[in-house]
């Protein structure tokens, strides 16, 4: 195996920061250009993904929601779109939107009111997904909404 293959294997198998740094240092120009292209692609992808949240096919809407949860650009567009998707008539889409918002963690604090509303749903799966997202975004909001006891330690949820 080459040095690059060894470093890559070490990183994949152990998550070694040193191996990752070594690979990045060898290919810094490639890493930079890839990151730059990804940033540009994100600006193109976000409007298309937000539009896909309106697709007639619930699987397309659910996948669009999940994908948006991985992005960290155009959040002023992504977060309101995901918050609105919490109200989708299809559970799959609403659950995907909640999961995506949770993945955004504290970046998605603007979605807390929508998630609190979803946490009061009569549908158990929607309620659980919203509460899980709130745990990741702003667990104190669960206490304020009376969804958990005041003495429940937030750290024990994770």
pLDDT tens sequence across 91-131: 999 999 999 999 999 999 999 999 999 999 999 999 999 99
Give residues with Cβ within 8 angstroms of 33, minimum separation 6: none
Yes or no: say if 77 and 108 are a contact pair by the CB < 8 Å rule: no
58-68 and 28-52 helices cross at what angle (nearest 10)?
Answer: 140
Return the biggest CA–CA distance within the chain. Answer: 58
Tell me, what DSSP letter sits at residue 109?
A: G
What is the pLDDT averaged over residues 60-79? 93
What is the rounded (10 degree) CA torsion for 150, 144, 122, 106? -110
Q: Considering only 34-48, 77-91, 137-151, which range has the smallest mean pLDDT?
A: 137-151
E strand or H helix that includes residue 50:
helix 28-52
Percent of the chain with pLDDT over 90: 53
Q: Which residue segment(s) compose the domain that 12 sits in? A: 1-39
pLDDT tens sequence across 39-69: 777 788 899 999 999 999 999 999 999 999 9
Query: Domain check: are 73 and 111 in the same one?
Result: yes
What is the pLDDT averaged over residues 4-13? 85
Query: Domain check: are 63 and 137 in the same one?
Result: yes
Please name the residue ranges forming H helices in 53-147.
58-68, 75-85, 91-104, 112-119, 124-137, 140-144
User: What pTM value is reported for the model?
Assistant: 0.71
Asked if residue 155 has pLDDT above 70, the reply is: no
Asked if residue 158 has pLDDT above 70, the reply is: no
Query: Domain check: are 30 and 62 in the same one?
Result: no
Please name the residue ranges forming H helices in 56-90.
58-68, 75-85
Q: What are phi and psi for residue 87, nearest 5 degrees?
A: -95, 10
| Domains: count for the chain | 2
* Assigned domain for 47 exists: no
Query: Domain check: are 135 and 58 in the same one?
Result: yes
Q: Supply the pLDDT for residue 129.
A: 97
Q: Supply the pLDDT for residue 61.
A: 95
Asked if residue 143 has pLDDT above 80, the reply is: no
Query: Domain check: are 83 and 135 in the same one?
Result: yes
């Amino acid at each position: 195996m080459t040095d690059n293959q060894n470093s890559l294997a070490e990183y994949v198998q152990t998550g070694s920061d040193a191996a990752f740094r070594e690979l990045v240092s060898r290919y810094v120009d490639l890493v930079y250009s890839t990151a730059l292209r990804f940033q540009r692609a994100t600006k193109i992808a976000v409007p298309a993904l937000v539009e896909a949240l309106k697709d007639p096919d619930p699987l397309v809407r659910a996948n669009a929601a999940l994908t948006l949860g991985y992005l960290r650009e155009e959040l002023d567009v992504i977060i309101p779109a995901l918050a609105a998707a919490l109200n989708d008539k299809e559970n799959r889409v609403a659950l995907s939107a909640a999961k995506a918002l949770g993945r955004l963690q504290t970046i998605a604090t603007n979605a807390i009111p929508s998630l609190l509303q979803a946490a009061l749903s009569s549908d158990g799966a929607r309620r659980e997904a919203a509460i899980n997202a709130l745990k990741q975004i702003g667990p104190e909001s669960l206490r304020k909404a009376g969804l958990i006891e005041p003495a429940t330690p937030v750290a024990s949820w994770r």
